[in-house]
Each structure stands twice: as structure tokens, then as C-alpha cells.
């Protein structure tokens, strides 16, 4: 199977899963106690506006037709009007989604990279004090309670020491000033992003490190490592060229498996740091009973997880030729 075929097949599978999630959400929405119409139409709306919204979303139709409307509206990007913002939901999603993707991909990428790098080295010192120490430290990092460590970081690094801003993503005054250049703006975002990034990094790096370590130990028992030794290759070359490439695979699989878990952590991080992402928006919408916004946020988060899964599969196929051919 070549790479293109693999991507096509996995995309179809993902589309199917997404369809099921869409349907389950529709059913939940209608099964929940209370009136579905009142959940999509804000009480304060004028009668004409409300009528237009109801007919647009098909809420006055029989249930099976409502389902078709619902699917159609999803692909048309029509999710109704947010109660809180009074704007079409899709606009809010459009603003929030890039912020989440920025924070999420950077944190997963950096922690996977660092975890793989350190795990590789630690495996080499198996059984020595360094190994025991790093293993226990990774376990501790992995089990830290994320919102708490986020609050602690804000307290220490932003409040007491004052190195970082308390929350948010940008400094509004800087962005309103027309003379601010692109690099100054990027630096501003980076400055705001460091603390949330550090939080997510610490939570995830231990997990990747431990997986890389045990995967590396497994490959070190293989015969071809013995062959490489017999050829008289240097330890560093054996480690980086012969053992590590095969040890990457379980790490990649695990990144895929823990994506949903990472997005939970991402939403918590966004909330504590007031990072204007889609996870925070979902939590915010749920607290305010802003159902149209909450449902759309949830769908897009599921979509992010599914697409990220696809990317992980492609990376896996790229690293492991056995999958491709």
C-alpha cells in the first residue's frame, strides 16, 4: 500500500468516525430534558430573528428532516448564533481555532522531540543512578495535576518574579499601536505563550521520555545491534543510527493514542492562562449555557483530534516502510 492510498483510506475512516460523533451529538441534543428550540434561540431575540434562525436550522421540521438540516448546516458552516457574543458561532470558532492549533502543535511537537532525545540517552545508562533519577522525575512530571501546576507557575513566574504576563495572548496596547511591526507582535505572542507552553511541556515530556526509554531498551536487545557492535561502530553511531530509528515507532503510536488526553490538558491550560483558544471557549460556553457555541466547539475539537490522528498515522507510515509497501 503506498502512502497516498493509506492517507485516502484513513481519511475515509476519519470521516466516518466524525459522522458518528455528529449523529451522537444530535441525538444527545434532542434526548436531553428541555426544549431543543430554546437551546438554540436566545430568549432575548426579536420574534423575526428567532423565526429566521429556527427555519434556517430546521427546528420547526420533523426530527429526521432536522437531522438532514443539521448535517447540511455543519458543512455550510452554519451553527447558529452564540448567546453570549451575539455573533454567528462560526466567526468565533474561526478566531479561536488557530490559537489552539498554535499552542497544541507546538507543545506536542516540542515535548515529543525532547522526550525522544532524552529517553534515548537515558536508556543508554540503564540501571545507573542517572536512569533511576530521571525515571522517577519523569513519573512525577507525568502525574502532576495540570491546573494546579499552571496556577503555581502563574503565582511564581508571573506574580512573584514578574517575568511573564499573568494571562491572555497579546498585550492590547501594543497591538492597537499602528507602528508595531510584525516581529514585535510575534514576540509579544511568544512572550505570552511561554508559560502555558512550559506547563504542557512538563506534563507531556515525562510520558514520551519513558516510552522512548523502554522502546530503546527493547531495540538494544536485537541482534542487529550486536552486529553493529561487532563491526566496531562507535557507541554514539549505534545509538543514533541503528537503535533509535526503530525505537521511534512506539513513541509515534503513543502520541496518537494520547492526543485526546492532550487536548483535555490543552483546554485546562487555556482556561487557567486565559489563552483565547477553542478549549477555553468550550468550557466558557458550557458554564454560560451557550449551547450553539458549546456544540460547535466540541465538534471542532473532535475534528482537531481526528486530523492530528491522521497526521500521526502518516508520520508512522513515513518512519516505518513496512506500512507503506
Partner 1 sequence: MAKLAKQKIKEKIARTYNLQRAAEGWALFYDNPVGKIGMFLLIFFGLMAVASFIPPLVNPMYHPMTGVDPGISNATPPSLTHWLGTDNLGRDLFSQLLTGARIAFLVGISAAFMSIVLGTLIGMVAGYGGRITDGLLMRFADMIMVMPSLLVVLLLASLFGQLNIWIIVVLIAFFRWPGVSRVIRSQTLSLKQRPFIDMARVAGASHLRIIFRHILPNVLPMAFLYMTFRVTSAIIVEAALAFLGFGDPNTVSWGMMLQWVWKTGHMFQAPYWLLPPGICISLITLSFYMIGRAMEEVLDPRLRREEEAAQ
Q: Which residues bind partner 1 (CB under 8 A)?
A: 17, 20-21, 28-29, 32-33, 126-127, 132, 135-136, 139-140, 142-149, 151-152, 154-155, 159, 214, 217-218, 221, 257, 259-261, 263-264, 267-268, 271-272, 279, 282-283, 285-287, 289, 291, 294-295, 298, 301-302, 305-306, 309
Say if residues 79 and 92 touch (Cβ distance below 8 Å): no
Q: Rounded to the nearest whole angstrom, what is the least distance from the CB of residue 260 to partner 1 in the complex?
A: 5
Residue number, 2 or 287, with CB nearest to partner 1: 287
Residue number, 62 or 127, with CB nearest to partner 1: 127
Nearest-angstrom CA–CA distance, 10 and 6: 6
Say if residues 254 and 207 touch (Cβ distance below 8 Å): yes
> Which alpha helices (H) appear in the chain, and where do they start and end?
3-31, 36-40, 47-57, 63-75, 89-124, 129-143, 146-153, 172-176, 182-220, 223-230, 235-237, 244-257, 259-273, 278-287, 291-319, 321-324
Q: Rounded to the nearest whole angstrom, what is the least distance from the CB of residue 254 to partner 1 in the complex?
A: 11
Q: Rounded to the nearest whole angstrom, what is the least distance from the CB of residue 8 to partner 1 in the complex?
A: 18
Nearest-angstrom CA–CA distance, 201 and 195: 10
Q: Rounded to the nearest whole angstrom, what is the least distance from the CB of residue 196 to partner 1 in the complex?
A: 16
Cell numbers linked to 143 = 502525574
On the 0-12 / 13-18 / 19+ scale of CB atoms within 10 A, 18 is: middle
Closest CA to 258 of 317, 214, 312: 312
Residue number, 189 or 260, with CB nearest to partner 1: 260
Segment holding 80, helix H or strand E: none
Residue number, 140 or 186, with CB nearest to partner 1: 140
Residue number, 116 or 270, with CB nearest to partner 1: 270
Q: Rounded to the nearest whole angstrom, what is the least distance from the CB of residue 263 to partner 1 in the complex?
A: 5
Q: Rounded to the nearest whole angstrom, what is the least distance from the CB of residue 105 to partner 1 in the complex?
A: 16
Bridge partners (DSSP) listed for residue 88: 81
Nearest-angstrom CA–CA distance, 80 and 40: 7
Residue number, 50 or 285, with CB nearest to partner 1: 285
Q: Rounded to the nearest whole angstrom, what is the least distance from the CB of residue 130 to partner 1 in the complex?
A: 13
Residue number, 17 or 249, with CB nearest to partner 1: 17
Amino acid at each position: 500500500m503506498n502512502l497516498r492510498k493509506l492517507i485516502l483510506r484513513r481519511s475515509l475512516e476519519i470521516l466516518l468516525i466524525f459522522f458518528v460523533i455528529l449523529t451522537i451529538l444530535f441525538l444527545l441534543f434532542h434526548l436531553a430534558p428541555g426544549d431543543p428550540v430554546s437551546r438554540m434561540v436566545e430568549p432575548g431575540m426579536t420574534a423575526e430573528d428567532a423565526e429566521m434562525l429556527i427555519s434556517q436550522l430546521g427546528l420547526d421540521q420533523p426530527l429526521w428532516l432536522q437531522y438532514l438540516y443539521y448535517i447540511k448546516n455543519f458543512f455550510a458552516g452554519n451553527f447558529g448564533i452564540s448567546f453570549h457574543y451575539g455573533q454567528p458561532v462560526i466567526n468565533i470558532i474561526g478566531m479561536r481555532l488557530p490559537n489552539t492549533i498554535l499552542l497544541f502543535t507546538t507543545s506536542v511537537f516540542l515535548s515529543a522531540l525532547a522526550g525522544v532525545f532524552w529517553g534515548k540517552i537515558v536508556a543508554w545508562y540503564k540501571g545507573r543512578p542517572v536512569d533511576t533519577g530521571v525515571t522517577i522525575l519523569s513519573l512525577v512530571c507525568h502525574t502532576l495535576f495540570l491546573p494546579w501546576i499552571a496556577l503555581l507557575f502563574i503565582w511564581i513566574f508571573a506574580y512573584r518574579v514578574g517575568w511573564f504576563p499573568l494571562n491572555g495572548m497579546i498585550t492590547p496596547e501594543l497591538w492597537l499601536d499602528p507602528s508595531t511591526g510584525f516581529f514585535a507582535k510575534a514576540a509579544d505572542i511568544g512572550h505570552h505563550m511561554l508559560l502555558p507552553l512550559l506547563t504542557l511541556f512538563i506534563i507531556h515530556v515525562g510520558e514520551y521520555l519513558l516510552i522512548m526509554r523502554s522502546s530503546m531498551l527493547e531495540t538494544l536487545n536485537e541482534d542487529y545491534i550486536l552486529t553493529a557492535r561487532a563491526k566496531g561502530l562507535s557507541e554514539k553511531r549505534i545509538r543514533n543510527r541503528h537503535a533509535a530509528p526503530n525505537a521511534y515507532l512506539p513513541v509515534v503510536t503513543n502520541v496518537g493514542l494520547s492526543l485526546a488526553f492532550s487536548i483535555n490538558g490543552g483546554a485546562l491550560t487555556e482556561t487557567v492562562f486565559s489563552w483565547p483558544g477553542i478549549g477555553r471557549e468550550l468550557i466558557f460556553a458550557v458554564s454560560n449555557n451557550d449551547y450553539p457555541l458549546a456544540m460547535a466547539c466540541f465538534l471542532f475539537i473532535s475534528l482537531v483530534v481526528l486530523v492530528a490522528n491522521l497526521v500521526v498515522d502518516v508520520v508512522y507510515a513515513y518512519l516505518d516502510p513496512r506500512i507503506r509497501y
